Amino acid sequence: MANGYRTQSLCCLGARLSDSSSRPPGTLPFAGNGVWFLQPRHKLLDWFSQCERKTGFSTFEISVPSLPPGIVINDPKNVEHVLKNNDTFIKGDFFRLRSWDLFGNGIINADGGLWKVQRKAGLRFFSNANIKAFIDDVLPPLVQHTKTYLDQAEMSGRQVDLQATLLELTTRLMGNVAYDMDMPASLPFSKAFDFASGAIGDRFQNPFWKVKELVWGTPLRKAVREVKRFGDAIVLTAVGKRVPAENRSTGDGARRNRPLRSNLIDSLLDHIDDRSVVADAAMNYLSAGERSKSISNDSL
């Protein structure tokens, strides 16, 4: 949570409610809720949180002059219904146009069969056995390393950037469990992904994002190229490490020493033939981890 922001909320653009009274407090004539979309992202999230506290689990409509109409869903049951019925609640061109550069054919953009196969791969990865191995084997040493670093800083009286420390922890966790590699936040990829995902998010708030990026878009384009390069490298490395299917049940090969029965990249390769789609899917799942991290950091 970020300042009370509930992570089960879902905002769907391009939809309307039949009840015109289902609007958040403070909605203005003509301007609607546009003032909040001009604010920094953490203030926008705070506003969504305030709306939820006032409306409870009610679904309400938002309006911004530069964006399609949208609805905000707070009830977890309704959120689950939307997420499970992807054939009915598609992403649409508005969303895909803004997020395509970074997320490509990954699950964030995908609909229909492509969405289903990536979801199936993700569900297989998040099995009970893998979650148990993550809690028992993967998480403790990384948390202990972070704790030791913070203890040493306290003893020496050294100031610590807590957000940077948590970023290091969560990035390394994602690298270990998803890609079978140590992935410190200091990697050029980690910095590029963090920058690119933030810039892509800004596209949904700024109606003039195309004009802005014509002038100041070079850093974003460089960051996206770095992310794509790293995604392709992850897939290539994973393919080189893979054990033939007939040997997996016996524990032969490199998998023998892995705490997880299968990592995310292996699960994606088992379900998707196109390696470029696998790379996109891998970056999309990483984004889910990054968004959770940024929400946690915003609450500090």
- Reduced DSSP (H G I as helix, E B as strand, rest coil) percent helix, strand, coil of the chain, to 5: 65, 5, 30
Indicate whether 26 pLDDT > 90: no
pTM for the predicted model, two decimal places: 0.77
Q: Tell me the CA distances in angstroms from 135 to 48, 128, 142, 143, 173, one per residue in order.
A: 32, 11, 11, 11, 11
Could you report the per-residue pLDDT of 130-174, keeping only the tens digit for each?
Answer: 888 888 988 999 999 999 999 999 999 999 999 889 988 988 888
Altogether, the residues listed in the chain come to a count of 300
Could you report the per-residue pLDDT of 253-270, keeping only the tens digit for each?
Answer: 444 556 666 788 988 999
Is the Cβ–Cβ distance between 64 and 23 less than 8 Å?
no
Place of tokens 């790293």: 230
Q: pLDDT at position 146, please? A: 95
Q: pLDDT at position 160, please? A: 94
Q: pLDDT at position 291, please? A: 52
Dihedral in degrees, nearest 10, Cα atoms 97, 282, 185, 170: 110
245 DSSP β-pair partners: none
Place of tokens 């998010």: 201
| Average pLDDT score over the chain | 83
